[in-house]
Amino acid sequence: MRQTLIRIFLDQPWALWKTDPQSGISGPGIAVLWLIGGLLWFGFRFVRNRFSLPEGERSGLLVWAVGLVVTSLVGQFVNASSFPIFGYGFMLLIGFLCAVWFAYRRADANGIDRETILDAGFWILVSGVVGGRLFYLLQYGHHVFAGKSGGELLRAAIDLRQGGLVLVGGMVGGAIGYFTFCYLRKLSPLRLADVLTPSVFIGIAFGRLGCLMNGCCYGDACTLPWAITFPAGSVPFNSLAERGFLDPQAIATYPVHPTQVYSAINGFVLAFVTAMYFPRRRHDGDVFALACILYPISRFLIEFLRNDEGSQLGTGLTISQLYSLCIFLAGLALALTLSLRGATARRNVSELPSA
């Protein structure tokens, strides 16, 4: 695990690589990072445009040059010497960008305006984060708010620096944001959902890799060769010690299932399956219905290998398993409803209204 991926240094903006003496975490200076990022971006655009920059990129060069000057001087105007890049948030960002990119490619192939994809992605991201955080606070609020009062309660509620999202809550929140977006834009939610579904699973997969870096969503005891351990002071270690499963004086947890990796692989596999099924769908919504059936099954099974949640409501099932049952039934109902429509002709996705 690696909760803090790197640190970006402000006091020495041109440092190629520096180690923070207090945390022991290394990283580049902010100006170096800005320089390398700009060179990679403009180099990519230069080669892609057959060794010339597009007109729009030339003004971007000026913005980049100004940004290089600003990043070189920023350390003189702020008190902090560096700031962290958290692994969990970084993987969420990578997942979002990859998901949008894949949706872009699919949009081009199906005649959908790219702005519609970007706008829908923004609505899903924001509402998904809000939903994921609300569900987390409902489940673990007694830990989050313990010993806090006044303004500390609000800060604790919105502090996402080291995780604190429930995936099922994120999916519910994202769905609410998505259907609201479709209603406001007068789009067919099922038709657009079929295009976006594989991208959602790509985002989930990268998000689970973020969970691995953060240490949350950890597994139960494991004797298999690929079992992993977490060091003292980590999220799994503290949780297991608090629950009496681990000696607080130990140097690491006992070997556990890498359930975060299982979930990431599951996300990538479901992204592939739903993308391959897309050309074979018979009705608008078939891909989305398939996702609502397959994902709860895999999530329900993976939950048996996790050890971060207890059973709920006397059922012997975790809260995520109960959510999964509801999503599965909804997906099954949708699939049956669509099948009863008969062999209706599937309209071309390019008929989607543009934004």
- Binding residue numbers: 208
> 221 and 201 in contact (C-beta within 8 Å)?
no
Round to whole Å and give the CA distance between 83 and 81.
7
Round to whole Å and give the CA distance between 309 and 320.
9
Round to whole Å and give the CA distance between 165 and 89.
11
Round to whole Å and give the CA distance between 101 and 103.
5
Identity of residue 330: A
CA distances from residue 263 to 31, 305, 310, 342 in whole angstroms, order as listed: 36, 11, 19, 35
Round to whole Å and give the CA distance between 336 and 338.
5
Q: In DSSP terms, which residues pair with 228 in a beta bridge?
A: 256
> 287 and 193 in contact (C-beta within 8 Å)?
yes
Q: In DSSP terms, which residues pair with 54 in a beta bridge?
A: none
Crossing angle of helices 114-144 and 151-158, in 10° steps, is: 130
Q: Give the residue from 133, 130, 134, 155 showing the smallest Cα distance to 145.
A: 155
Helix (H) or strand (E) holding 152: helix 151-158
CA distances from residue 130 to 92, 204, 327 in whole angstroms, order as listed: 14, 16, 19
Tokens representing 26?
């290394």
Phi-psi region of 256 (alpha: psi -120 to 50; beta: other; left: phi over 0): beta
Q: Give the residue from 127, 165, 172, 126 showing the smallest Cα distance to 324.
A: 172
Kindly state the greatest CA–CA separation across the chain.
69
Identity of residue 272: F
